[in-house]
Amino acid sequence: MSDTAGNGAVLVVGGGISGLTAALEAAEVGKDVFLIDKNPYFGGRVAQLNQYFPKLCPPTCGLEINFKRIKDNRRIRTYSMTTVKSVSGGPGNFQVELETAPRYINSNCTACGACSEACSSEIDDPFNFGMRKIKAAYLPHEMAFPRRYVLDKQACSDESLSAVKGACKYDAVDLDMQPEVFTLNVSAIVWSTGWNPYDPEKLENLKFSSSSAIITNMMMERLAADNGPTAGKILRPGDDKEPESFAFVQCAGSRDENHMEHCSYICCMATFKQISYIRAQYPEAKIYVFYIDLRTPGKYESFRAKFMDDENIIFIKGKVADIVAENDGGVTVVAEDTLTAKKVNQKVDLCVLATGMQPAIGEQGKAYGLTLDGNGFVVSEPEKGMISAGCAKAAVDVYSSGQSSTAAALKAIQIGR
Ligand SMILES: Cc1cc2nc3c(=O)[nH]c(=O)nc-3n(C[C@H](O)[C@H](O)[C@H](O)COP(=O)(O)OP(=O)(O)OC[C@H]3O[C@@H](n4cnc5c(N)ncnc54)[C@H](O)[C@@H]3O)c2cc1C
């Protein structure tokens, strides 16, 4: 199948907050836009946050308005579960080959949930970082756009598949669905592929898998979220204990030449935000923050100031050397306090690794003709028709992602006019 929208069309790869913004900005000035995402839903990482600063809004407040604008805009065509296979041509005349993975649920789906009820096979919930099991026929999350179920066919028994098929009154389950390859002709490509949490398994001294009391900051977002695995109550995974003490390990993977050299920009602010989640549920909990320096630039200084005087928050300037699992389910965090030159062994009930943002595109970007900087971010090259936006370009917050996506759209619409 080949799909042509004529000269001047823009392909936006990645439908997080950056891609949604770039797509809307380009379409609202009259360009045809194709927006793709590898996930079964749009919204990217912001959809997984509990609240986002500076205003601590739920993600719905930023995303839903964009979804509505996208639904209402006939110039934007969206493709979920879709990735780029190859890129050829050049600015003003790219041919991009794309592949849509089978969802096994077609557009007849009304999201009634009957397939999920009938399904007897389970998977680790990807949206909640495996912190709970869900049925293999599932809606990715409550506010998923498109609002359509997905079937993980490989995870299902034959019995489960026939129950899922039989339960659907709308003929929406298509077990024979195949990957679909198609080509688009576009003038410019906006790369808004965002970031992935740095893999905590690579941080050997932090022993992520040695204890369920060690979680990442993105897992903390899900634990605090009403639509998360614990319905918003922050409980220790594994034994559901209400933690009385917490540790945050800053720069977990960032600013480290053995892992990611860049500062992920957001992690200090994310920790202060997560302290606000803890304070709302556990006013007396002890919180220990192990840091190299605390970076909360510009408008975020006042957000940080709110917590600096809390006598139950102890800031320890020192890089964590080790985390030791204890028999009672907690962990001991080991570090040297560089201000007192004393070794610290701090036992806590729950330890949060503030893992940084790693560019999602990876080495594959080079095969698409992209230039990556030393940290793997996509260099914006409008002269080549390849423009990067948001966290594909640099580790930034939502506000800056919006700005860079608007700038990317402005560049993209000028190519091949
Ligand atoms: C713990 C934590 C908390 C945070 N809290 C806040 C906060 O409170 N406030 C704030 O402003 N910022 C916060 N951030 C930062 C925020 O998450 C980012 O600014 C935001 O996600 C950037 O959006 P994006 O669209 O650029 O990238 P993403 O959200 O990563 O979206 C990228 C999209 O591209 C898709 N994609 C990736 N690769 C491909 C591919 N090859 N093909 C097709 N699609 C692809 C992905 O599936 C995804 O949907 C936080 C970050 C962390 C780590």
Q: What is the tens place of the pLDDT at every residue in 201-221?
A: 999 999 999 999 999 999 999
Phi and psi torsions of 308, nearest 5°: -70, -25
Ligand 1 atom closest to Cα of residue 82: 43
Cα(325)–Cα(309) distance, integer angstroms: 30
The rounded Å distance from CA 43 to ligand 1 centre is 8
For a pocket test of ligand 1, which of 11, 49, 364 has the largest count of ligand atoms closer than 8 A to its C-beta? Answer: 49
The pLDDT assigned to 307 comes to 83
CATH code, 373? 3.50.50.60
Under DSSP, the state recorded for 71 is H
217 shares a domain with 332: yes
**335 inside domain:** yes
**341 inside domain:** yes
313 shares a domain with 263: yes
**174 inside domain:** no
The rounded Å distance from CA 26 to ligand 1 centre is 20
The rounded Å distance from CA 85 to ligand 1 centre is 22
The pLDDT assigned to 2 comes to 45
For a pocket test of ligand 1, which of 81, 184, 398, 405 has the largest count of ligand atoms closer than 8 A to its C-beta? Answer: 398
Q: What is the tens place of the pLDDT at every residue in 316-330?
A: 999 999 999 999 999
Quickly state the pLDDT bin for 6 (edges 50, 70, 90): low
400 shares a domain with 302: no
The rounded Å distance from CA 195 to ligand 1 centre is 5
The rounded Å distance from CA 389 to ligand 1 centre is 11
Q: What is the tens place of the pLDDT at every residue in 328-369?
A: 999 999 999 999 999 999 999 999 999 999 999 999 999 999
**Residue where a domain terminates, one of 356, 376, 401:** 356
The pLDDT assigned to 308 comes to 83
Q: Which residue has the tokens 């990876």?
A: 362
367 shares a domain with 351: no
Cα(364)–Cα(371) distance, integer angstroms: 11
The pLDDT assigned to 1 comes to 40
In this predicted structure, the answer to whether residue 63 has a pLDDT above a threshold of 50 is: yes
**Residue where a domain terminates, one of 313, 331, 356:** 356
In this predicted structure, the answer to whether residue 240 has a pLDDT above a threshold of 60 is: yes
345 shares a domain with 250: yes
- pLDDT exceeding 70 applies to what percent of the chain? 98
**For helices 217-224 and 267-281, angle between their N-to-C axes, nearest 10 degrees:** 30
Atom 14 of ligand 1, nearest CA residue: 397
**109 inside domain:** no
What is the mean predicted confidence (pLDDT) over 32-42? 98
Atom 20 of ligand 1, nearest CA residue: 398
383 shares a domain with 261: no
Ligand 1 pocket list (CB less than 6 A): 13-19, 36-39, 44-46, 49, 52-53, 83, 192-195, 217-218, 221, 266, 270, 273, 357, 360, 390-391, 396-399, 401
The pLDDT assigned to 353 comes to 98
Ligand 1 atom closest to Cα of residue 43: 49
Ligand 1 atom closest to Cα of residue 364: 41
What is the mean predicted confidence (pLDDT) over 394-401? 96
Nearest to 51 by CA among 197, 225, 218: 225
What is the mean predicted confidence (pLDDT) over 101-121? 98
Give every CB contact of residue 165 below 8 A, 6+ residues apart in sequence.
173, 175
141 shares a domain with 82: no
27 shares a domain with 67: yes
Ligand 1 atom closest to Cα of residue 405: 26
Ligand 1 atom closest to Cα of residue 20: 25
The rounded Å distance from CA 194 to ligand 1 centre is 5
**173 inside domain:** no
Report the Cα 165 to chain-centroid distance in Å: 31
Q: What is the tens place of the pLDDT at every residue in 14-34?
A: 999 999 999 999 999 999 999
Alpha carbon distance, N-terminus to C-terminus of the chain:
25
**107 inside domain:** no
71 shares a domain with 87: yes
Cα(160)–Cα(136) distance, integer angstroms: 9
**Residue where a domain terminates, one of 311, 337, 356:** 356
372 shares a domain with 239: no
Give me the number of domains the chain comprises: 3
Atom 2 of ligand 1, nearest CA residue: 270
**417 inside domain:** no
In this predicted structure, the answer to whether residue 60 has a pLDDT above a threshold of 90 is: no
350 shares a domain with 221: yes
Quickly state the pLDDT bin for 417 (edges 50, 70, 90): low
The rounded Å distance from CA 274 to ligand 1 centre is 17
305 shares a domain with 247: yes
Tell me the two tokens of residue 3: 């799909």
Q: What residue numbers bound the domain in which 156 lies? A: 114-167
**105 inside domain:** no
